[in-house]
């Protein structure tokens, strides 16, 4: 029951997204299974910091990345803090547990030449499925929105008069993102295809399956991955790669971090600062190529 209360707290009070909630549930279930099967514990009241450390070691030994182990540890920290606030525990067993060190991971973005090839040379299928695939790719790259945000877009979220899209982000925070005239025209063309394919659609969602139902996460990922695989060999070929490309290319073109932060819907500027890396590398190359003494040893 305590686990159920914790998940309800995350859902109704913290207003976590369904995807985040599912991840927390899975992390918690895995930990509880581990302490029962490997440690012989039947109650979280008996959990000590050494049990949690053993679980982290177990995850790493299984080949889990340090980043994954850290995320699971964050779930436990939230869970035990919840139990203490509800007076189920007096001592937090995670307090003495340090997170595994994680190397800095730079976001993977596509080259501009790859995106040009995607939109100018790739042939999309005729009919609704092809129009949907192209529109998903254009929208993700042109706005930087997350997969979940694109999936949840309604027709009423698009304001052609003001040339903007209303996006409902993490924590139910709304933001407005501008759309270019070209993107607006392409959206109108897509909507014509949608209306022709599903004149009596029962859903107001912007993107639908081939049967006229709201798009689901796996299908959107598969659509993006299939098309990106045609133009890039990057390890990251899902919707997030287009979000990274959006932010990276804005940064390279001189957009300020605060503006990029607002467009991405980040709550903290620290989350946005990683996109400055590629811009700094580009500036180093410009300096190397352009400065008279950049290539000399006696600068």
pLDDT, residue 99, reads 79
Q: What three-state secondary structure class fits 4?
A: helix
pLDDT, residue 160, reads 96
Positions of E strands within the chain: 158-159, 164-168, 174-178
Report field, pTM of the whole predicted structure over 0.85: no
Work out the angle at residue 26's Cα, subtended by the Cα atoms of residues 22 and 28, and round it to the nearest 5 degrees: 120
Which of 51, 132, 146, 194 is an active site residue? Answer: 146
DSSP state of 233: -
8 A C-beta contact, residue 97 and residue 229: no
Integer Cα distance of 92 and 79 in angstroms: 10
**Residue 243 annotated to the active site:** yes
pLDDT in tens, the chain (299 residues): 688 888 999 998 888 888 899 999 999 999 989 888 888 888 888 888 888 988 888 888 788 888 888 889 999 999 999 999 989 888 899 988 887 776 555 567 898 999 999 999 999 999 999 999 999 999 999 999 999 999 999 999 999 999 999 999 888 889 999 999 999 999 999 999 999 999 998 899 999 999 999 999 999 999 999 999 999 988 888 999 999 999 888 888 888 888 888 999 888 787 777 776 555 555 566 566 666 655 544 43
**Residue 72 annotated to the active site:** no
Please name each of the domains of the chain with its CATH number.
Answer: 2-85 (1.10.150), 112-245 (1.10.443.10)
pLDDT, residue 297, reads 47
pLDDT, residue 293, reads 59
Which of 243, 244, 249, 261 is an active site residue? Answer: 243
**Residue 146 annotated to the active site:** yes
pLDDT, residue 107, reads 60
Which of 170, 175, 225, 277 is an active site residue? Answer: 170
Integer Cα distance of 134 and 142 in angstroms: 12
**Residue 166 annotated to the active site:** no
**Residue 132 annotated to the active site:** no
**Residue 266 annotated to the active site:** yes
């Amino acid at each position: 029951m305590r686990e159920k209360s914790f998940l309800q707290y995350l859902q109704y009070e913290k207003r976590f997204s369904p995807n985040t909630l599912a991840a927390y549930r899975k992390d918690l279930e895995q930990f509880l299974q581990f302490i029962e099967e490997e440690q012989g514990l039947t109650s979280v009241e008996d959990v000590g910091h050494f049990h949690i450390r053993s679980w982290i070691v177990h995850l790493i030994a299984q080949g889990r990345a340090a980043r994954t182990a850290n995320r699971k540890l964050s779930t436990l920290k939230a869970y035990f803090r919840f139990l203490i606030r509800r007076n189920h525990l007096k001592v937090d067993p995670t307090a003495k547990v340090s997170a595994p060190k994680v190397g800095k991971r730079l976001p993977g973005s596509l080259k501009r030449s790859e995106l040009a090839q995607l939109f100018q040379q790739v042939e999309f299928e005729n009919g609704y499925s092809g129009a949907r695939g192209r529109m998903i790719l254009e929208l993700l790259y042109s706005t930087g929105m997350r997969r979940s945000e694109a999936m949840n877009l309604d027709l009423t979220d698009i304001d052609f008069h003001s040339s903007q899209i209303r996006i409902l982000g993490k924590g139910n925070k709304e933001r407005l993102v501008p759309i270019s005239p070209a993107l607006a025209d392409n959206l109108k063309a897509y909507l014509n295809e949608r209306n022709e394919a599903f004149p009596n659609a029962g859903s107001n969602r912007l993107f639908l399956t081939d049967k006229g139902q709201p798009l689901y996460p796996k299908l959107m990922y598969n659509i993006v991955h299939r098309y990106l695989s045609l133009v890039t060999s990057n390890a990251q070929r899902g919707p997030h790669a287009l979000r990274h490309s959006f932010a990276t290319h804005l940064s390279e073109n001189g957009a300020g971090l605060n503006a990029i932060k607002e467009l991405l819907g980040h709550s903290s500027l620290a989350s946005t600062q990683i996109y400055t890396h590629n811009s700094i590398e580009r500036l180093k190359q410009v300096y190397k190529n352009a400065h008279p003494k950049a290539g000399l040893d006696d600068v």
